[in-house]
Structure 1
Amino acid sequence: MNESSEALETAFAHFQEGRLAEAIEIAGGILLVDSDNSGALHVLGLASAISGALENAVAYYAKALLSAPSSAAIHTDIAAAYLVLGAAEDAAAHSARATAIDPSLGPAHYNLGNARFALGDAAAAAAAFAAAIETEPENDAFWSNHLFALNFSPGATRQEIYQRNRAWGEMIEAETGPVAPPGASKHGEPLRLAYYLPEYDTHVTPRFLEPVLRCHNLDSFDVRIYGSQVSGGGTPSFVPEDVSWVDVGGFTDDELAARMHADGVQILIHPCTFKARYRRILAHRAAPVQIAAINLVSTTGLKAADYLFTDGFLDPPGASEQFHTEELIRLAAFNTYRIPETAPPVVPLPAATNGYVTFCSFNNPAKLSPGTVAAWCRILERLPDSRLLLKHRALGDADVAARFVSGFTGAGIDEERIILEGFTLDGAAYLDTYNRVDMALDPFPFGGGTTSYEALWMGVPVLTLEGTTFMGRLTAALMGRLGLGHWAAADVGTYIESAARLASDLDALADLRAGLRERARASIFDAAAFTQSLEAACQDVWRRLAEHR
C-alpha cells in the first residue's frame, strides 16, 4: 500500500469514527498532491453531508465520479444527498447506476426506492425496497419502507400485504424469542393505559391522538404516553397536564418493555403502527393487552398484537379477519382528528364567481397512481372549463412537478388547467388554499387520511373510490359517517360519472359547503364519542383477560 492509499484509509477511518476535522485535514492534504483523487473527494463529500452542507457534498461527489464513474458507493452517497435536497430524479438516476454496478449494495436499492416513491411510482419503490431486503434481510428501515410502499401499490392485494407483513413479523418474533406477558395489576383501580409514540415530531399521529387524550375519563383510566422526538425535548404541547409523559428517547425495546412492566401498564395502545420499525415493541410484550389503533395502514404482522381497533366499514365482518394477525374489534368509528383551531372561515363556493369548478388533491404524489391520473384526466375532459389544483411538499421539486404535469398533458389536458403548489409553512395559510377549490378528488388505491379530514373541515367534500384495502376505504368511511355515502363510488366508471354530475350542480355544492364544517364537527370530529367507544372496548378486552386468568 502506497503512502496516498494509507492516508486515504486513515481519512475514511477518522470519518467513520466521527473525527471529521481529522478526516477533512487528511483528505485535503491528499488533494494538494492529487486534485482529482476520487477517494479524498468522497471523504470530503461525506463530511459535508454529515455537517448538513448538502450542496457542497453533491459537488464533491460529482467531481469524484469524474475520476471514478463506476464507484457504486459514490453513486449511492450522491443519491442520498439528492434525496435530502428534494432532487428525486437525480437520486433515482444515481441509485439505478449504483444497483447496476453492485446489485448487492442494499443502501443503493433503498435510495432507489425512496426516489421512486417521491416520484409517485409506488410499485417500483416497493420492488426496490424488496431488492434491498434481499441484500440485508434483517434491516428494519428496508422492511419498514417496503411494507409502507406496498400499501400504495396499485397491484398489491390484501393477501400480499398480509403475507409480507407476516414475513416481517415472523422475523421479529424469531429475533425476540418467546416473551411471557407481564402480570396483571390490581383490579378495581383505574386501568393503566399507555400509548407509545416514537419520533412523534416526524409524523401526523399526534393530530389523531390529541383529541382522544383530552377526552379520556381519568376516573376510569390512568393515561400515560411513552414517547420520543427526533429534535427538541420536554413534554409536547399536545399532551394534557393530567396525562403523564415519559420520554423514552434512546431506550432499547427491551428497556422500554421493562419500564412499562415496572410502571404496571395494563393496556398498551400503539397508535402509529403504519411504520413497521415502530412496531417492534409489541413483540417484547410490554403489556398484558396490546392493541394497534388510530393511525395504521394494515395488520402489524405480529402475534403479540392482541387486537386491532377498526370499524365495520373499513373491515366488514367476515371479510377481513384472514388479513390480520390480530383479533379485530370494531368501534363505532376508526379514529377522529384534531379540529384545526387556526383554520380560516369557510368561504362561499369559488365556482360561483370563477365560472368554473376547481378540483383538488393535497395528497402525497406517491398516491397518485397511473389509474388515478387517468381517471382525473377523464373528469377534466368531461368538464372542459374545470381546473385541478395539486398541492404537496414534493411538488416543490421541479422534476416531480414536471413528471406529474406530463401525465396530464400526455392525455391531452392543457397544462394551464393543472395547478401545482409546494409546501406552505403556515398552517392557516395552507388550509386557506381550500378556499380556492370546490371539490376534492381522493386518489386510489391508497386514499387520503389527514387530507380528507382537513378538506371536510374546510367545507370541501371529497369524492372517493371505495377500495378493497384499509386505506382504500378510509375516506369512504368518513363520507358515510357524514351521511354522504353517495360520494363514495363503487368503481372507476362511477367515480368519473359522479365527479361530472356532482360538479355540475353548483347550487347543491354551495349548500353542502355552507354546512359541512358543522356537520363534520358533530360526527367525524366528535372526539368525545370516539373516545367513549375506545374506552369501552379497552374495558371489555381487559375483562376478557381477567376472566381467562
Structure 2
Amino acid sequence: VASVEDSIGSRPELRWIMAGNSVRELLTRATGHHRAGELDAAKALYREILAQQPDNADALHLFGLVCHQLGDHQTAVQYIRRAVEQVPDQPVLRNNLGDALHKLGDLPAAIQQLRRALELRPDYAGAHLNLGSALAESGEHEAALTHSREATRLDPERPEPWFNLGMLLMDQVMLDEAARSFRAALALRPHYPAAVNGLLYVLNLLPNADALEVAEEHRRVASVMFGSVAQSSDWPVPGGKIRIGYVSGDFRAHAVAFFFEPLLANQDLDRFETYCYSDVARADATTGRLRELAQHWREISGLSDSAVHERIRQDRIDTLVDLAGYTEHGRLGVFAGKPARCQISFIGYPNTTGLQAMDFRVVDECTAPESEGECGTEKLLRIEGGFACFRPPAHAVGMSVGRASHDGTVIFGSLHKLEKVNAQVIETWARILLSNDGSRLLIARDQLDAWHQKRLALAFESHGVSADRLELLHLCDPAQSFFEIFSRMDVLLDVFPWSGHTMACCALWMGVPVVSLRAQAHAGRMVASVLQGMGLAELVADSQEEYVRIAVELSRDQQRLSMLREGLRERVEKSPLRDEAGFAGKFEEACLSAFRETLSRVPMERR
C-alpha cells in the first residue's frame, strides 16, 4: 500500500475537485486521523465527504485506501476503481488499486494496474514492490525478483522492499542473499517482527551455518526486539493443581496440532489445570477438537501482548508453554514479560528463543545430547524416549499402507518445503539416483509450480540426472490430502540441515521408510530421534556419503525394503512416537520438575 503521505500529499492537481470550505475542512480532519492511524474515524469522515460529493476522487481513493488497510479489499477495489476512472493518470491510485486487487485474489487485474502505474512513473518504488509480490504469486518468479530488486534500489531506506526481496530470495532458495536482505530490513527497522522471523527461519536453513553462531543471533535479535519489555516477578505461590498454559496461533489444521493434540488428550486432570490461549483468527474442525479437550480456552486473536500478559496473570498460570517461537503467529512478546514463573519452549520452533525470560526448551537425548552442553538461553529439558509424540489425522488412520502398484522401479520421494531442498540436498539426491539406474525421484509440494519444476529439473540435470527420472508434482488442490502421495513412493529422503520432522512422521505412519542425515543442531536431528526411537538407527547417517550409501543399499534390497514397509505402521504404533499416555506423563513430570526448579530460585522471604 502506498504511504498515506503518498496518497494524500503528492497530488495538488486533484485539489480542483474539492469545492467548498466544509469539504476542505472535512478532508483535513480525515487525513489527520488517517496519518495518525485512526482509521475508523478517518473512514467516517471520508464517507461524509462522499455524501456531499459522490464523485470526489480524493475521498473515493482515500475511503478505499482505509478499507484496504482494514482488510475490506472488495470495498477498497470498488472505491479506488471509481477514483481511477475520475483521474486515470495517477500512478498512486493505480498502485493502491493493484495492491487491493492482489489482496482480493485477482492477480491478472492487479498486475495490469501495477504495470500501468509503472508506465506512468517508472521510478515508483512502491509499485515495483507490489508488482514483485503479485508476479511471484502468479508464478513469474524471475520478473518478481527483478522488480523487487528495483524497489530496493529506488528506495533503499525503506525496510519493506528489503523484506519482500528476502522472501522472494528464500522462495528461490537463494538463502545467503535472503539472509542479507532480511538483515538490511532490520538495520532500517530493528523492531520488524516479520523480518526477524524471516531472518531466523533462513538461518535454520543455511547448510553451513554454525549452530553456536545461529544461537547467538537469536540472542541478539531477542535483545533488540524484547529487551525493553518489563518482566513480572511477583508470581502466585501454587496451591493445589499446577496451572499450565499453552500459547499458539496454530490451534488449527497445522503440523503443530499433530503433536499437541495427543498431549492435550492425555493430560493428568488430577495434577494439572490446563489453559489454551488461542491466537487463531479463523477456527476450523481442529480448533473445535482442541477446544473440547482443553479445560479452559482463551481467545487472544487481536489482543496486544500486554493484554494477553494480563489475561495470563489473571488466570494465575504457573507454567506457560510456547508452541510457536519465531513463526507467523508467535507471541514471544508475551513471554518476554514473564507472566508465569516457569516458561517453556516446545515443538513449534526448533531452536532457542534467545529470551532470557524463557526458562526451558524441550529436547531429547538424541536431538541435544548432554555431552554437547547447552546452546541458547534456555536450560534444556530432555524428555526420555523422544521430544514429541504424534497423532495422525483421522482421515489418515484408515488409509492403506504401501505402494498402490509396483513395477520394480524404486521411487524415492520428498514432500518437504522447497526452501529446505537446497543445493547440497539436490547434489546428494542426484548421487543416490545415479547410483541406482532403476530409481526415480518424486517431489510433490504446493509451491511446486511450473517455474519451480523447471528450476529443479535444471538443477538435477547439472548433476547428470535427466528430467525423465523426476516426477515433479504441483499439489494445487486444497482438498487433496498429501497422505495419498505416500502410496506412490518407496522411500522418503529427508532434508538437511533442517530435517522434515512432520513429514517423516507422516511417511512412517503410511509405511514409507525414511533416510535421514543427522545435522549439528536440534532442527537437524528431529527425524533421527524418531528413527532411533523406532529401532531404525541404521537409517540415520552422520555424513552425506553415508546418507547416499544407506539410501542406495536400501533401494537395491527389494526384499528388505518390502519387509520394512509391511511392518512399519505396527512398528510406529509400538514406538515412543505413538505412546500418547506415556509421553504425556513424561512431559508433565518434566514440567513439574522445571516448575519446582524455578520455584526454588525465589528467596524464602519472597515466598
Same fold flag (TM > 0.5): yes
CA spacing shift, 1:58–1:200, aligned 2, 3 Å: farther
- The answer for the alignment partner of 2:281 in structure 1 is 230
CA contact (8 A) 2:414 2:444 kept: yes
Partner amino acid, structure 1, of 2:471: I
- Residue 342 (structure 1) aligned with residue 395 (structure 2): yes
| CA deviation after TM superposition for structure 1 residue 9, in Å | 6.7
Greater RCO (CA < 8 Å, at least 6 residues apart) = 1
CA spacing shift, 1:436–1:96, aligned 2, 3 Å: same
- The answer for the alignment partner of 1:26 in structure 2 is 83
Q: Distance in 2 between matches of 1:84 and 1:22?
A: 24
| CA deviation after TM superposition for structure 1 residue 65, in Å | 1.6
- The answer for the alignment partner of 2:291 in structure 1 is 239
Which of residues 194, 199, 204 in structure 1 aligns to 2:255? 204
Deviations 1:371-395 (A, max 9, x none): 1100111111001121100011100
- The answer for the alignment partner of 1:125 in structure 2 is 178
- Residue 494 (structure 1) aligned with residue 551 (structure 2): no
Deviations 1:66-85 (A, max 9, x none): 23222211010112223444
Q: Distance in 2 between matches of 1:162 and 1:202?
A: 30
Deviations 1:353-383 (A, max 9, x none): 3121000010001001101100111111001
**Greater mean alpha carbon deviation, residues 426-435 or residues 152-161:** 426-435
Which of residues 506, 510, 513 in structure 2 aligns to 1:454? 506
CA contact (8 A) 2:413 2:493 kept: yes
- The answer for the alignment partner of 1:17 in structure 2 is 66
CA spacing shift, 1:278–1:156, aligned 2, 3 Å: farther
Deviations 1:170-221 (A, max 9, x none): 11333313x123422432x111111001254474212210111001111111
Identity rate of aligned residues, in percent? 27
| CA deviation after TM superposition for structure 1 residue 497, in Å | 1.4
Q: Distance in 2 between matches of 1:5 and 1:510?
A: 77
Structure 2 length-normalised TM: 0.84
CA contact (8 A) 1:274 1:298 kept: no
Q: Distance in 2 between matches of 1:199 and 1:438?
A: 31
CA contact (8 A) 2:65 2:96 kept: no
Deviations 1:385-438 (A, max 9, x none): 21100011100x211121111111222211111111122657774212111111
CA spacing shift, 1:511–1:368, aligned 2, 3 Å: same
Q: Equivalent residues in 2 for 1:354-369 (5 A)?
A: 354-369=407-422
- The answer for the alignment partner of 1:327 in structure 2 is 379
CA contact (8 A) 2:80 2:93 kept: no
- 3-state SS of paired residue (1:411): coil
Q: Distance in 1 between matches of 2:358 and 2:488?
A: 44
Q: 5+ residue gaps in structure 1?
A: none
Q: Distance in 1 between matches of 2:139 and 2:250?
A: 22
- 3-state SS of paired residue (2:321): strand
**Greater mean alpha carbon deviation, residues 485-494 or residues 79-88:** 79-88
Q: Equivalent residues in 2 for 1:388-427 (5 A)?
A: 388-395=441-448, 397-423=449-475, 425=477
CA RMSD of aligned residues (A): 2.3
Partner amino acid, structure 2, of 1:217: D
CA spacing shift, 1:22–1:71, aligned 2, 3 Å: same
CA spacing shift, 1:145–1:202, aligned 2, 3 Å: farther
Partner amino acid, structure 2, of 1:367: K
Q: Distance in 2 between matches of 1:459 and 1:519?
A: 9
Q: Distance in 1 between matches of 2:378 and 2:550?
A: 36
- 3-state SS of paired residue (2:170): helix
- The answer for the alignment partner of 1:304 in structure 2 is 357
Q: Distance in 2 between matches of 1:320 and 1:49?
A: 48
Which of residues 309, 317, 342 in structure 2 aligns to 1:257? 309
| CA deviation after TM superposition for structure 1 residue 340, in Å | 3.0
Q: Equivalent residues in 2 for 1:181-192 (5 A)?
A: 181-187=233-239, 189-192=240-243
Q: Distance in 1 between matches of 2:16 and 2:109?
A: 25
| CA deviation after TM superposition for structure 1 residue 335, in Å | 1.0
**Greater mean alpha carbon deviation, residues 447-456 or residues 336-345:** 336-345
CA contact (8 A) 1:377 1:411 kept: yes
CA spacing shift, 1:297–1:399, aligned 2, 3 Å: same
CA spacing shift, 1:532–1:232, aligned 2, 3 Å: closer
Q: Distance in 1 between matches of 2:309 and 2:139?
A: 37
Which of residues 529, 533, 543 in structure 1 aligns to 2:582? 529
Q: Distance in 2 between matches of 1:392 and 1:22?
A: 37
Q: 5+ residue gaps in structure 2?
A: 1-10, 18-56, 69-75, 603-607
Structure 1 length-normalised TM: 0.93
Q: Distance in 2 between matches of 1:367 and 1:242?
A: 34
CA spacing shift, 1:518–1:424, aligned 2, 3 Å: farther
**Greater mean alpha carbon deviation, residues 205-214 or residues 117-126:** 117-126
CA contact (8 A) 1:342 1:427 kept: no
Q: How many residues align?
A: 540
- 3-state SS of paired residue (1:17): helix
**Greater mean alpha carbon deviation, residues 134-143 or residues 92-101:** 92-101
Partner amino acid, structure 2, of 1:131: A
CA contact (8 A) 1:349 1:513 kept: no
CA contact (8 A) 1:118 1:400 kept: no
- 3-state SS of paired residue (2:307): helix
